[in-house]
């Protein structure tokens, strides 16, 4: 018998959906349409959706019960309330109780008459003005959140404050100065070669800004220009505390699409996909309109600007899941499956979306590509640090005196970002701990901020750069409550594909809720999580928890090594 290796594994859902004309690609959209018409559980309506697509009921029930947008009950009025880190830090989570009292609906349920439902979600991208909620698609934010939802105050959702600290922005030129997009693509597609684009990006040293930090040119080259290659713009910005991708997709969607077009050209791909998380309805609308405009202007289509290059781009809406932003989970979702991480190899650049070579780059990464191609990779490489080139969008949460999105060079001291750009904490509050790069990125104590904003600098402190969102916790927050919040996030967002993460996150939440240091049992679990988790989500939990314990010192004794 010939052994079947990972590259030859059989995926029953993919095979079945493929035989039905890849019906799975439309499955999530069909499930979302059905979800919007009923408050019943997925077991009632999902199987019939699968049947209409030529799939068995289980193929539809799986994603319908997995994605939070599909699994949560929906009333005629559906309210999504943010329970993520920045909104939690804004009022110590009390806004959830206020909303429940005002609407008379417990999160995760629907009112008896079916009029109103409330769903908790983890990040709506309003971290600079939290707490936040979406009433349908209408954002409501700030201290008067509950009153806005009750109709006593008008909805309030200020624009994202943005600034440049570099003197020559790579990413925010369109947002701050109105620099038009699509200035690089026409000349490139008519007069340059894919190799020219790859060369400039390789020289630039650009790394992925979605958290993994992989060299972009190396990922493009791994696809090898194979026929059928697909490039995906990952707009599933899930790290609570970051809203950089939302800013770019809403305020400068053409630049994101231009970066995707250049990436497709470099990879020999005739198809691009933009995945926008459902929690960003305005970004979804802006990206779809930008695609329509790009076709009208000749940037996309069967013969781009009169050349032999054809390029089609579609925009797809996510369905609510943090781990679904991981590239293999994202691909599973695009195929209509549960957004669970897949084992590697094979890597997506070899066998990704419907087994085609697939390159996944996040929105911020792609938005940097037009500048690099136009100005040259060497100009980009001179910025940042010798080991990590370029600039980064850093998002500051509501607790700062000057919250907002700032473009800085890699290597900028975090203390300078906190004190000079952020102005310290509002109302003279005292910083207790600083979260960097999402709940699983890590935490720094106030006396540990003299560290450069870089993957190398942060990893030396047990943290990670991630999306570079900075969420401040002041001293109103009890350390044990912050710890429990981290474990609640981990337990809720684990995709469940591997038992170390699925079981370990729930066990950790039990310990954090009990308030007793877990001792040696925690040491054993942390080793299992780091060594046996299928993806970086589970592997990052122990370092994040330990960094929080170190930042709080004796107040969280028992959680640090």
Dihedral of the alpha carbons of 515, 520, 525, 528, in degrees to the nearest 10 = 160
What CATH number was assigned to the domain covering residues 162-381? Answer: 3.40.50.11540
Residue 322 tokens, joined: 């943090």
Would you state the pLDDT for residue 2?
33
Burial class (CB in 10 A: 0-12, 13-18, 19+), 114: middle
Residue 479 near residue 552 (C-beta atoms within 8 A): yes
Would you state the pLDDT for residue 485?
94
Looking at 382-430, list the stretches that DSSP marks H as alpha helix, in order from N- to C-terminal side.
Answer: 414-416
Contacts of 17 (CB under 8 A, 6+ apart): 23, 24, 25, 27, 55, 59, 335, 336
Would you state the pLDDT for residue 62?
92
Looking at 134-210, list the stretches that DSSP marks H as alpha helix, in order from N- to C-terminal side.
Answer: 145-150, 173-177, 185-191, 194-204
Q: Does domain 77-150 have CATH number 3.40.50.720?
A: no
Total residue length of the chain: 561
Give tens-digit pLDDT for 302-343: 999 999 999 999 999 999 877 777 899 899 999 998 888 888
Would you state the pLDDT for residue 438?
86
Low-confidence ranges of the chain (pLDDT < 70): 1-21, 23-25, 561
Annotated domain spans of the chain: 6-66, 77-150, 162-381, 391-556
- Rounded to two decimals, the pTM is 0.94
Give tens-digit pLDDT for 127-147: 999 999 999 999 999 999 999
Q: Name the DSSP class of 299.
A: S
CATH architecture, range 391-556: Roll (3.10)
């Amino acid at each position: 018998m010939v052994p079947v290796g990972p590259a030859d594994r059989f995926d029953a859902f993919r095979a079945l959906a493929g035989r039905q004309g890849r019906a799975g690609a439309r499955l999530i959209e069909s499930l979302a349409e059905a979800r919007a018409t009923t408050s019943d559980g997925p077991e009632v309506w999902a199987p019939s959706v699968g049947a209409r697509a030529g799939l068995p009921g289980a193929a539809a029930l799986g994603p319908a019960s997995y994605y939070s947008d599909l699994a949560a009950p929906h009333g005629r009025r559906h309210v999504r309330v943010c329970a993520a880190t920045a909104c939690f830090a804004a009022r110590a989570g009390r806004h959830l109780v206020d909303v429940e009292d005002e609407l008379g609906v417990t999160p995760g349920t629907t009112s008896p008459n079916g009029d109103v439902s409330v769903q908790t979600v983890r990040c709506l991208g309003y971290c600079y003005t939290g707490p936040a909620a979406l009433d349908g698609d209408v954002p409501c934010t700030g201290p008067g959140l509950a009153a806005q939802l009750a109709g006593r105050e008008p909805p309030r959702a200020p624009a994202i404050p943005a600034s440049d600290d570099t003197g020559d922005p790579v990413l925010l030129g369109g947002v701050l100065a109105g620099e038009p997009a699509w200035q690089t693509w026409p000349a490139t597609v008519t007069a340059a070669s894919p190799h020219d684009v790859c060369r400039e990006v390789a020289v630039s040293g650009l790394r992925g800004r979605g958290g993994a930090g992989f060299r972009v040119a190396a990922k493009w080259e791994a696809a090898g220009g194979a026929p059928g290659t697909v490039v995906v713009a990952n707009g599933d910005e899930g790290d609570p505390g970051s809203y950089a991708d939302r800013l770019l997709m809403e305020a400068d969607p053409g630049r994101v699409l231009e970066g995707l077009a250049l990436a497709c050209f470099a990879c020999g791909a005739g198809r691009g996909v933009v995945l926008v998380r459902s929690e960003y309805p305005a970004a979804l609308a802006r990206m779809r309109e930008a695609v329509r405009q790009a076709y009208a202007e000749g940037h996309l289509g069967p013969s781009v600007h009169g050349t032999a290059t054809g390029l089609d781009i579609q925009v797809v809406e996510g369905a609510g899941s943090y781990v679904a932003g991981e590239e293999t989970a994202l691909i599973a979702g695009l195929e209509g499956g549960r957004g669970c991480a897949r084992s590697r190899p094979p890597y997506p650049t070899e066998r990704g979306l419907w087994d085609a070579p697939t390159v996944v780059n996040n929105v911020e990464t792609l938005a940097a590509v037009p500048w690099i191609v136009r100005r040259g990779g060497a100009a980009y490489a001179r910025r940042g640090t010798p080991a990590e080139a370029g600039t980064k969008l850093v998002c500051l949460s509501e607790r700062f005196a000057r919250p907002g999105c700032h473009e800085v060079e890699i290597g900028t001291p975090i203390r300078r970002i906190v004190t000079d750009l952020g102005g310290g904490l509002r109302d003279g509050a005292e910083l207790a701990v600083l979260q960097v790069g999402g709940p699983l990125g890590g935490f720094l104590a106030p006396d540990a901020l003299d560290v450069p904003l870089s993957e190398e600098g942060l990893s030396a402190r047990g943290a990670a750069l991630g999306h570079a969102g900075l969420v401040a916790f002041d001293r109103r927050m009890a350390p044990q409550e912050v710890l429990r919040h981290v474990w609640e996030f981990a337990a809720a967002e684990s995709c469940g594909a591997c038992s170390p993460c699925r079981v370990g996150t729930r066990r950790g939440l039990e310990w954090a809720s009990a308030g007793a240091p877990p001792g040696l049992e925690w040491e054993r679990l942390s080793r299992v999580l780091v060594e046996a988790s299928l993806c970086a989500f589970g592997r990052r939990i122990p370092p994040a928890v330990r960094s929080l314990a170190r930042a709080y010192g004796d107040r969280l004794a028992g959680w640090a090594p």
